[in-house]
Amino acid sequence: MSSAVRANAIPVAEYTLAAILLSGKDAFGLRERFRSDHVFPPLGDHAPVGNLGRGVGVIGASRVGRRLLELLRPLDFSVRLHDPYVDAGEAAELGAVLDELMSTSDIVTLHAPDTPETLRMHNRRRLALMRDGSVLVNTSRGALVDTEALTDELVTGRIGAVLDVTEPEPPPADSPLYRLPNVFLTPHIAGSLGNELERLGRTVVEELALLRAGAPLACAVVQADLVKSA
Ligand SMILES: NC(=O)c1ccc[n+]([C@@H]2O[C@H](COP(=O)([O-])OP(=O)(O)OC[C@H]3O[C@@H](n4cnc5c(N)ncnc54)[C@H](O)[C@@H]3O)[C@@H](O)[C@H]2O)c1
């Protein structure tokens, strides 16, 4: 059995990188202010924005998480990783305890799968650990987050969010997530869309060629990994 999830991880990681970079500039918030009050320039030189040395907390060294770590490597971020399944070497290099990562990151980005273990792992207590002004990016699954607790935090304006996924999905029509200026909400578009579907098709063709040649599949599904996979 084979799967194109590795190919599908590419656009999700790219979307996440864009979200991180634009959040670091407060581009989403400043755009809202620019539209409403036309203030120009919007900030002083020493405003607390910018991507130099910003702390990015990555949750999940999944296929998306790993691709994102690669994309972040050449940039000037301070990256930490939480994942109970990484080996000791990786844990020693980047690893962080989840609560510590939540309380010390400027951006927290979620890339773990939706499993019984991750269900609402970002509950009210954990969300309250996030630093004032920090941003939660969720391109994984809405089920990883307690939506009500997150909405309560976002309504206060204390933190911001870039949400490609929610629970429920889509949010109800009266959800504040649609209108809050500190929330950038998209309709589950981070994965392959439009011309990106070609990459998934290419993976299938490449896997079939390997199968025909009697070679091992490049994207084989490992039965034992399914309990901790998306
Ligand atoms: N927004 C979109 O369009 C879109 C598209 C594709 C995937 N996704 C989502 O992105 C996420 C990652 O997908 P993937 O295919 O890379 O996942 P994956 O199957 O590669 O993830 C498995 C890995 O996640 C890590 N993990 C498991 N449990 C964890 C935990 N409790 N805490 C931290 N890390 C844990 C482990 O390293 C595990 O090997 C999933 O939630 C998936 O549903 C979203």
Q: Is 227 helix (H, G, I), strand (E, B) or coil?
A: helix
In a domain, 97, yes or no: yes
Q: Which H or E element spans position 162?
A: strand 160-163
In a domain, 199, yes or no: no
CA of 51 to the centre of ligand 1 (A): 25
In a domain, 111, yes or no: yes
For residues 202-223, one letter each, b for 16 or more C-beta atoms within 10 angstroms of the residue's C-beta and e for the rest, the string is ebeebbeeeeeeeeeeebeeee
Tokens of 37: 């009050």
Q: How high is the pLDDT of residue 96?
A: 86
Task: Reply yes or no on whether 188 is catalytic.
Answer: yes
Residue 101 contacts residue 57 (beta carbons within 8 Å): yes
Query: For residue 168, is the peptide bond before it cis, meaning its omega torsion is within 30 degrees of 0?
Result: yes
Amino acid in the structure at residue 158: R
- Domain with residue 96: its CATH number is 3.40.50.720
Query: Taking 90 as the threshold, does the pLDDT of residue 46 lie above it?
Result: no
Query: Taking 90 as the threshold, does the pLDDT of residue 179 lie above it?
Result: yes
Residue 61 contacts residue 81 (beta carbons within 8 Å): yes
In a domain, 208, yes or no: no
In a domain, 44, yes or no: no
Nearest-CA neighbor of 57 among 109, 121, 122?
Answer: 109
In a domain, 64, yes or no: yes
Residue 106 contacts residue 135 (beta carbons within 8 Å): yes
Which bin fits 136, alpha (ψ -120 to 50), beta or left (φ > 0)?
Answer: beta
> Which one is catalytic: 188, 196, 199, 206?
188
Q: How high is the pLDDT of residue 225?
A: 82
Q: What is the pLDDT of residues 196-216, one digit of tens each?
A: 999 999 999 999 999 999 999
- Residue nearest ligand 1's atom 28 by CA: 228
Q: What is the pLDDT of residues 24-45, one digit of tens each?
A: 999 999 999 999 999 898 888 8
Question: How far apart (Å, rounded) are the C-alpha atoms in residues 29 and 55?
Answer: 19
In a domain, 206, yes or no: no
In a domain, 114, yes or no: yes
Q: How high is the pLDDT of residue 80?
A: 97
Question: How far apart (Å, rounded) are the C-alpha atoms in residues 100 and 21?
Answer: 22
- Residue nearest ligand 1's atom 8 by CA: 140
CA of 62 to the centre of ligand 1 (A): 5
Query: Taking 90 as the threshold, does the pLDDT of residue 51 lie above it?
Result: yes
Task: Reply yes or no on whether 202 is catalytic.
Answer: no
Task: Reply yes or no on whether 111 is catalytic.
Answer: no
Q: How high is the pLDDT of residue 1?
A: 85
For 87, the domain range is: 5-38+51-194
Number of domains in the chain: 1
Q: Give whole-number Cα distances, 119 to 52, 56, 167, 203, in Å.
A: 33, 22, 11, 30
CA of 142 to the centre of ligand 1 (A): 12
Mutate to test the pocket of ligand 1, among 16, 59, 62 (most ligand atoms within 8 A of CB): 62
Residues in contact with ligand 1 by the CB-under-6-Å rule are: 5, 8-9, 12, 59-64, 82-85, 111-115, 117-118, 139-141, 164-165, 188, 190-191, 228-230
Residue 207 contacts residue 219 (beta carbons within 8 Å): yes
Tokens of 98: 């989840």
